[in-house]
A and B are shown apart, each in its own frame.
Chain A
């Protein structure tokens, strides 16, 4: 635990996408999970306005094991993009060695120096019957890939943050994203050790 805490002194996360995708809710879940369940500090800045009608929209989340004095993010450790315009706006600011997560059908990453993680979140949500759950799938994916919040915290917060009656559906979506993240990490590990097939 102590080791984990040291590593996770402070993580700055930007989630970006179109208005209406539930970007802010996704940010809120991350922050709430960190502060209420994982007992850390967190802040959320939501940037919306005209964006709420479909323009670019973003949520700045900081998770830290110490008090946070300034909630705005200049260069994030983690950038999760669910729209091309969001990607283009923030990709330049991503910290060197930071993690980039994208919805692979909505973002075509260009000029990305390092590695990135992609998930067909919106497609998966469509398959589940509700496109609006793409954000929850993304939360699951972020949880699995970045480990900024614990699985339990993330799940519990999803249950507590979505409209009554949709908890189960959202948990299914969350698990989809989370499992996809784990499978992707496993896939990379397997490839790294040269075992791609059965």
Chain B
């Protein structure tokens, strides 16, 4: 027996009968194969397909009924899409796509099934252990989290005056959710952290920071919530609040493996100028993964943000380096309570960047920016390079002069990204660039700048019907400006708001075109 781990998700109906026949005949099924019986191949989400790789599987099979024999009609079709998406994501991670395969069998095709299983086993054996699994993860415990009272003291939550300014500004509370930041904080102070309300609310908070913005006692509630989440995670809190079945958390944890050799830049267009020797690094972010994951649902193109950012840099004769083994910055892990894996990602990223001798890192994603610039050093990961948001760089270059913008025949409004406008207090920065554009009209929404309403989710947790209600409200604000393009500055805003526009009850009423600020700039910028 080898140390390979192969997981087979096997549909209850057709293929399971075939598998049972093999068992009855005592056929030689490779012992490394672990079979998981499932109700339908269509029920195995992308998250469930990726999870085994995160946990150390070397190969995963999803075996369903042959097309046309699906007991539920559409299961096999769904399975096809899920497997295709997950395989492409494995490709980006630098894992062999063929470590995940989909197959379909009829109940009487037991011999064929055996052949297939053996072939797959031999393939995996030839390919060896998965790089995501073969790497014994270095034990890296974040300093043992303080007990609750210490977390409370560290953020001086005692300063809360129960004034309720937070709950009167909180977008979740305003969307009708029975949720109150200060009530939650007070319950934790009173030692009721185990109460069902707190256990639920702590995972609902958007950490958008508007409460901190409004708090007269300057209680940093988002960071407090983050530390409490970490504490609860360490105590073994369930992950049932993770959106998309925990796919993205799983993806980020898979990236903590040191042995992975990523293939994350293969899709870049040829006309983008890259200089591997450059001391300036462009940090792209997770957009390529998002695009694969959402391609059958939202059809968004967040990778355009990366392409357009690079085009703008090239426009100013800046040819940056790219990091081949760029991993997720870890933003969503630390904000969903998994500090240990956040630290692993941070360490790997910083090591790789410093090995390249990078002096300045430029990023467009406000979450990457905030995390790299502030959360890495704050969590003991020292960085010896400068982190620049691309808006600062663009503003600096455009301000030199001789650059203008072509007319852009649209009415624009703008969704402020929380990490830049509230955390970093730089809402004027995208504002300056927007002012330089040449649109038909630009109008801010009712709530804008540091008071802007959240796009509906953060760190892929706690998405529910109230998130939808809040998104609908926000999108209506955008429509009220009379604009036809909603400009965003964060790939997450783009994803979440386009999801909000999919509301089946409201039909097309909410539809609105969205474009990232850098995309509009790349489209209209010109030398004058």
Q: Do A and B come from one complex?
A: yes
Interface residues of A (CB under 8 A from B): 119, 179-180, 182-184, 186-188, 190-191, 196-198
By DSSP majority rule, is chain A's interface helix, strand, loop, or mixed? Answer: helix
Which chain B residues (467-526) contact chain A, with CB distance < 8 Å?
Answer: 521-526
B525 to chain A, nearest CB (A): 5
Closest Cβ of chain A to B270, distance in Å, is: 16
C-alpha gap A179/B398 in the complex (Å): 10
CB distance from A67 to the nearest CB of B (A): 38
Q: Is there an interface contact between B525 and A179, defined as CB atoms closer than 8 Å?
A: no
Which residues of B come within 8 Å of A, CB atoms? Answer: 308, 311-312, 314-315, 317, 397, 400-403, 406, 521-528
With A179-B401, A191-B527, A197-B524 given, can you name 13 additional A-B contacts, CB distance below 8 Å? A180-B402, A182-B400, A183-B397, A183-B401, A183-B402, A183-B403, A184-B401, A186-B402, A187-B527, A197-B315, A198-B312, A198-B314, A198-B521
A174 to B163, CA, bound (A): 51
Cα(A62)–Cα(B311), bound, Å: 43
Rank and list the top 8 A-B pairs by shortest CB-CB distance, nearest first. A187-B527, A180-B401, A183-B402, A179-B400, A198-B315, A187-B402, A183-B400, A198-B311
Q: What are 27 A-B interface contacts by the 8 Å CB criterion?
A: A119-B401, A179-B400, A180-B400, A180-B402, A182-B400, A183-B397, A183-B400, A183-B402, A183-B403, A184-B401, A186-B317, A186-B402, A186-B527, A187-B402, A187-B403, A187-B528, A196-B526, A196-B527, A197-B406, A197-B524, A197-B525, A198-B311, A198-B312, A198-B315, A198-B521, A198-B522, A198-B523
Which single residue of chain A is at the shortest CB-CB distance from B308?
A: A198
Most central of A180, A182, A191, A198 by chain B CB within 10 Å = A198
Inter-chain CA distance A187–B316, complex, in Å, is 10
Report whether B402 and A184 are in contact in the complex, using a CB–CB cutoff of 8 Å: yes
Shortest A133–chain B CB gap in Å is: 16
Chain B residues with Cβ below 8 Å from A119 are: 401
- Closest A-chain residue to B315, C-beta based? A198
Q: Could you say which residues of chain A place their CB within 8 Å of the CB of B521?
A: 198
Chain A: minimal CB distance from B390 (Å):
13
Contacts of A198 in B (CB 8 A): 308, 311-312, 314-315, 521-523, 525
User: Which residue of chain A is the closest to B397 with respect to CB atoms?
Assistant: A183
Distance of A186 Cα from B315 Cα, bound (Å) = 10
Please, which residue of chain B has its CB at the minimum distance from the CB of A184? B402
